[in-house]
Amino acid sequence: MAENKIIDQGNPEFDWDALANEGYSQAQHAEYADQYEATLTSITEKEVILGTVVAITDREVVVNIGYKSEGVIAINEFRYKQDLAVGDEVVVFVESQEDRNGQLVVSHKTARMHHAWDRVNEVLKTGEVITGHVKCRTKGGLIVDVFGIEAFLPGSQIDVKPIRDYDMYVGKDMEFRVVKINQEFRNVVVSHKALIEAELEEQKKQIISGLEKGQVLEGTVKNITSYGVFIDLGGVDGLVHITDLSWGRVNHPEEIVELDQKLNVVILDFDDDKKRIALGLKQLQAHPWDALDEGMNVGDKVKGKVVVLADYGAFVEIAPGVEGLIHVSEMSWSQHLRTAQDFLKVGDEVEAVVLTLDREERKMSLGIKQLMPDPWEAIENRYPVQSKHKAKVRNFTNFGVFVELEEGVDGLIHISDLSWQKKIKHPSEFCKVGEEMEVVVLEIDQENRRISLGHKQLEENPWDVFETIFGEGSVHQGTIVEQKDKSGIVSLPYGVEGICPAKHMRKEDGSNAKVEETLDFKVIEFNKDAKKIVVSHLRTFEEGEDKPTTKKSSGKSGGGSSKAVSDVNKNSEKSTLGDLDALAALKEKMEGK
């Protein structure tokens, strides 16, 4: 126990350095350490250096870089190099001289990245052609492995012609040229198209130099748009506009051509630099108008299909490339304004009559109403003068009403022929558009296709009866309904209105009659032609008893005429033509008496 106690305390005079040097003096030890350090490579962290593969396992690759310890790299960093062997030299990036275990930390992948970045920057400056491996497809293009860097190959830079299938390039090795580098984000853009453009440019110059208008060339459909087709003439592109694809109507170029289709085209025009070349396809075919039947003449019937509709008419294709216009006025005998859409639609098969034919101008007008009976033929047989019919109100003018008797036959009712009694300022006061009304034929002008109609003529002229009732000097009870222009409008029996001048509206007590007062009025003027009655209240009392006694249409006095007037007055309505039969009977009684 005593000996153990001595050991634990230690010997303060024990020379540990001598034990560590194992017989070497401290000077010798320092000398040998310097010699050993001299045999090791001096390395710096974050630096790319060259190393040698000294061992390969299933999971790791051991690399000697001449340092006191060797670097160990995961074997998956060498996937691109399947033939890696012991003794091969590889680049490594020194991450750290030693980790917590004293082991050197290196990376082959990072070294390749640094090396590749320096390389692509150099290639961008020199324009050198490099080889890369297409790894996969991405949005808008392809991902390419270049020196271990993933570079982007845009779809537009794959080839000079548009590429529709990117997948066909995946897994292939291709030559590229570096065209752009983003130093901040370390993005690299490469192009395969740039390699062939130089060659094509020379080829293009040769083709352009030999271009002439009217020259026929073979080309390939490169692209199809809604307005035309782009044709590859062997490095030079030309455009066939949609109107130059076919002599017939073309809704979309896809109806005529397909992608990659080879066809012959003719050069129509080009600019001074010959960069824009206009091509034609239909010009290689005979014009359809030249093949039109020589026997076709005006008046012939033809069949065709509606290809275009406009408000003013329809274009009908009677043969490919041969069209005729049916104006909307030639679609119906009706005179009412309509559009072509009211009669036809695109795709309709129609039969028409040739109205005009101009082979030189290649124009033709057609009509379809000519295949239907003209309603104005024998119009007098269907609508003789004084015959009565029903018609539909179509529209108004200041001077009358236009009505339709049947499709294509319109007539005019003059405003003066609407009513016997009412003074109409505008036809809209009397009827409405779309209404059906009875009319009587007054006059027919077949040559000018005009019919004059009347409505008031359906009834007897009540002013013939009024002449016997409202004779000058007769007295009638009336109501003042309106006052204007220094005169009053007086409502008389049977819906008749009279005019009472202002001075004749004075009452017996000296005051003036007012609106809505009912008084006796004497007729002082009756004008049947002008349909005018002038009355006076003043005259009913001013002339005295020595004046002749006149009739008063009060309905109280005896006699057959007074009773008839009373009956009509009971049934009459203001501003109507009702009970004209009663008026006629009254007239007969009075004439008989």
Look at residue 405 and tell me if it is in a domain: yes
User: Do 492 and 568 sit in the same domain of this protein?
Assistant: yes
Same-domain check for residues 472 and 553: yes
Q: Does residue 115 belong to any structural domain of this protein?
A: no
Which range among 37-46, 128-137, 250-259, 562-571 shows the weakest confidence by mean pLDDT? 562-571
CA distance 534 to 532: 7
Alpha-carbon dihedral sign for residues 187, 192, 195, 198 = negative
Q: Identify the band that residue 33 occupies on the pLDDT scale cut at 50, 70 and 90.
A: low
CATH number for 133: 2.40.50.140
Report which secondary-structure segment, H or E, holds 53.
Answer: strand 48-56
Q: Which of 504, 500, 501, 540 is nearest to 522 (CA)?
A: 540
**Pick the residue with more confidence: 528 or 509?**
509
Shared-domain flag, residues 103 and 219:
no
The residue-averaged pLDDT of 279-296 equals 82
Among residues 260, 230, 259, the alpha carbon closest in space to that of 245 is found at 230
Q: HSE (CB half, 13 Å, CA atoms) of 65?
A: 28
Phi, psi of 436 (to 5 degrees): -105, 135
More confident residue, 299 or 291: 299
**Of 108, 142, 159, which one is at a domain's C-terminal end?**
108
Strand 130-138 with 497-501, pairing? unpaired
What's the pLDDT score for residue 184? 82
- Does 69 fall in a domain? yes
Task: Please determine, for residue 558, whether its predicted confidence score (pLDDT) is greater than 60.
Answer: no
Taking 60 as the threshold, does the pLDDT of residue 572 lie above it? Answer: no
The answer to whether residue 201 is domain-embedded is no
Same domain, yes or no: 329 and 431? no
Say if CB 317 and CB 364 are below 8 A apart: no
Please check whether residue 174 lies inside any domain of the structure: yes
Residue 344 sits in the same domain as residue 383: no
- 136 lies in a domain? yes
Structure tokens at 145: 């492995």
Residues 421 and 484 in one domain: no
Q: How high is the pLDDT of residue 585?
A: 57
What's residue 496's pLDDT? 83
Q: What integer is the mean pLDDT of 347-365?
A: 87
Task: Give the whole-angstrom CA distance, residue 180 versus residue 194.
Answer: 12
CA 487 to chain centre: 62
> What percent of the chain is modeled with pLDDT above 70?
81
Q: How many domains does the chain have?
A: 7
In a domain, 117, yes or no: no
The answer to whether 335 and 318 are in contact (CB under 8 A) is: no
Q: What is the pLDDT averaged over residues 227-244?
A: 87
d(CA 113, CA 585): 122
> What is residue 588's predicted lDDT score, i.e. its pLDDT?
58
Q: Do 398 and 429 fall within a single domain?
A: yes
Instruction: At 69, list the tokens.
Output: 């310890």
| Tens digit of each residue's pLDDT (9 = 90 or more) over 129-154 | 888 889 999 888 999 988 878 899 99
pLDDT band at residue 573 using 50, 70 and 90 as cut-offs: very low
* Residue pair 116/133 in contact by the 8 Å Cβ criterion: no
pLDDT above 90 for 500: yes
* Both tokens assigned to 440: 């009587």
CA–CA–CA angle 521, 527, 529 (5° rounding): 145
Domain of residue 440: give its range.
379-458
pLDDT at 565: 40
Q: Measuring CA to CA, which residue among 456, 526, 539 is closest to residue 496?
A: 526
Are residues 182 and 131 located together in one domain of the fold? yes
Rounded Cα gap, residues 265 and 277, in angstroms: 11
The H or E element spanning position 124 is helix 108-126
Is the domain of 172 the same as that of 89? Answer: no
Among candidate residues 284, 317, 338, the one where a domain is terminated = 284
Residues 69, 50: Cα–Cα separation, whole Å: 15
Of 419, 435, 458, at which residue does a domain stop?
Answer: 458
**Are residues 566 and 544 located together in one domain of the fold?**
yes
Note whether residue 122 is domain-resident. Answer: no
Q: What is the pLDDT of residue 5?
A: 44
Residues 365 and 387 in one domain: no
**Predicted TM-score of the model (pTM):** 0.42
How far apart are the C-alpha atoms of 440 and 461, rounded to whole Å?
Answer: 14
Among the listed ranges 24-28, 197-201, 504-508, 588-592, which one has the minimum average pLDDT value? 588-592
**CA 434 to CA 436: how far, in whole Å?**
7
3 state SS of 351: strand
Both 47 and 26 in a single domain?
A: no
pLDDT number for residue 567? 41
- Output the 3-class SS for 421-479: CCCCCCHHHCCCCCCEEEEEEEEEECCCCEEEEECHHHCCCHHHHHHHHCCCCCEEEEE
